[in-house]
Amino acid sequence: MVVIMKQGYTRQELEHAIAEMERGGVKVMVSHGSESTILGAEGNAANIDIERMQALPGVERVMRVSEPYKKANRKYHPDDSIIQAAPGVLVGGKKLAVFAGPCSVESEEQITAIAQAVKEDGACALRGGAFKPRTSPYSFQGMGYAGLDLLEKARAATGLPVVTELMSTDDIDYFAEHVDVIQVGARNMQNFDLLKRLGKVDKPILLKRGLSATIEEWIMSAEYILAGGNEKVILCERGVRTFETFTRNTLDLSAVLAVKKQTHLPVMVDPSHASGQAWMVERLSLAAIAAGCDGLIIEVHNDPVHALCDGQQSITPAQFRSLMEKAATVAACVGREV
């Protein structure tokens, strides 16, 4: 249940409305938005008398909420959430956030060179996997902690905050201390132990959509993190599995619109994993901006042919530069900037 207060309600009226809801056995979340103040019922609101609530002074409107997600729901929080990925780096505002870098950290020279290149062309954070979820146990699994050290070196050299994937609950404390944005990969979107633990961490979480997750399942995974108390959740659409085999996945841009409508969380798009093909990345990025995403996460490699992971979908720094120039033009058409 959601209770919307009238403009100019008094403190007493607010307290009265909260008390009435609590009497019905729920916990009340108060959200002071730019347009209105909203009271959200956490828990089972079946015992609250909706007509009685509606008649209270100061109450504008009472709505039952059918969605199973509460904290992520835009009905409880009408304003867009803007998440600080790192000092000075916001995701969800007018300016689009662009995270760029290789699929995997491979060496100090590689990560530092790519970090410098993408920074020059306007990336606001460096991506790079150190712990890689690979389909085959015989494929490169990432450099692990040594890779995290190299990300920190690249951050020191460029000032770019780092975004990297966490796979195990064992590594949470280390990540919380050494990483700026913790990525939960598609394969772990429903690792509920991981999500619960991340609810207790004071770091932004980039939550990728699962390979075959519905929009509601994806939002419910965000709800796990929010319910634990961590409100810094950024969603990331990275393509879903369909019958199509031409592309690695099928980029679901309608999901960007859906989650922006249903939730207040920012949503980024990963055109690299969605398509699996470098030549598609620029156009899909522009389409994602036109669809209203809040940012992009793009795989960039200085030597894609020899990349240890996902070379076929990685663009070069020169291609990234061209993409960023076009992105600025499309962003301006939809009232955003890069």
> Burial, 231: exposed, middle or buried (Cβ in 10 Å; 0-12, 13-18, 19+)?
middle
Q: Is 266 in the site for ligand PEP (CB under 6 A)?
A: no
User: If binding means CB under 6 A, how many residues of this protein chain bind ligand PEP?
Assistant: 10
Stretch that binds ligand PEP, among 15-23, 58-66, 185-193, 325-333 (CB under 6 A): 185-193
- Least distance in Å: CB of 263 to ligand PEP? 19
Contact residue for ligand PEP among 71, 273, 301, 336 (CB under 6 A): 273
Stretch that binds ligand PEP, among 76-84, 180-188, 223-231, 255-263 (CB under 6 A): 180-188
Q: Which of residues 95-114 bind Mn ion (CB under 5 A)?
A: 103
Q: Is 310 in the site for Mn ion (CB under 5 A)?
A: yes
- Least distance in Å: CB of 129 to ligand PEP? 5
User: If binding means CB under 5 A, how many residues of this protein chain bind Mn ion?
Assistant: 2
Measured from the CB atom, the residue of 31 and 316 that comes closer to Mn ion is: 316
From ligand PEP, Mn ion, none, which one binds at residue 106 (CB under 5 to 8 Å depending on kind)?
none
Amino acid at 272: S
CA distance 92 to 104: 26
Q: What angle do CA 187, 191, 192 make, to 5 degrees?
A: 155
Of 102, 260, 271, 131, nearest in space to 194 by CA: 131
CA distance 338 to 327: 7
From Mn ion, ligand PEP, none, which one binds at residue 266 (CB under 5 to 8 Å depending on kind)?
none
Q: Is 186 in the site for ligand PEP (CB under 6 A)?
A: yes
Q: Are 128 and 105 in contact (CB under 8 A)?
A: yes
Q: Are 323 and 285 in contact (CB under 8 A)?
A: yes
Q: What angle do CA 279, 282, 285 make, to 5 degrees?
A: 135
Query: Which residues sit opposite 129 in a β-bridge?
Result: 104
The C-alpha R_g of the chain, in whole angstroms, comes to: 21
Of 200, 221, 202, 199, nearest in space to 210 by CA: 221
Q: Is 208 in the site for ligand PEP (CB under 6 A)?
A: yes
Q: Is 71 in the site for ligand PEP (CB under 6 A)?
A: no
Stretch that binds Mn ion, among 153-161, 170-178, 310-318, 321-329 (CB under 5 A): 310-318
Measured from each CB, the residue nearest to ligand PEP is 185
CA distance 259 to 264: 8
Q: Helix, strand, coil % (nearest 5) of the chain?
A: 40, 20, 40
Q: Is 165 in the site for Mn ion (CB under 5 A)?
A: no
Of 187, 186, 206, nearest in space to 198 by CA: 206
Measured from the CB atom, the residue of 92 and 129 that comes closer to ligand PEP is: 129
- Least distance in Å: CB of 270 to ligand PEP? 6
Q: Is 304 in the site for ligand PEP (CB under 6 A)?
A: no
Residues binding ligand PEP (CB under 6 A): 103, 129, 133, 185-187, 208, 238, 270, 273
Residues binding Mn ion (CB under 5 A): 103, 310
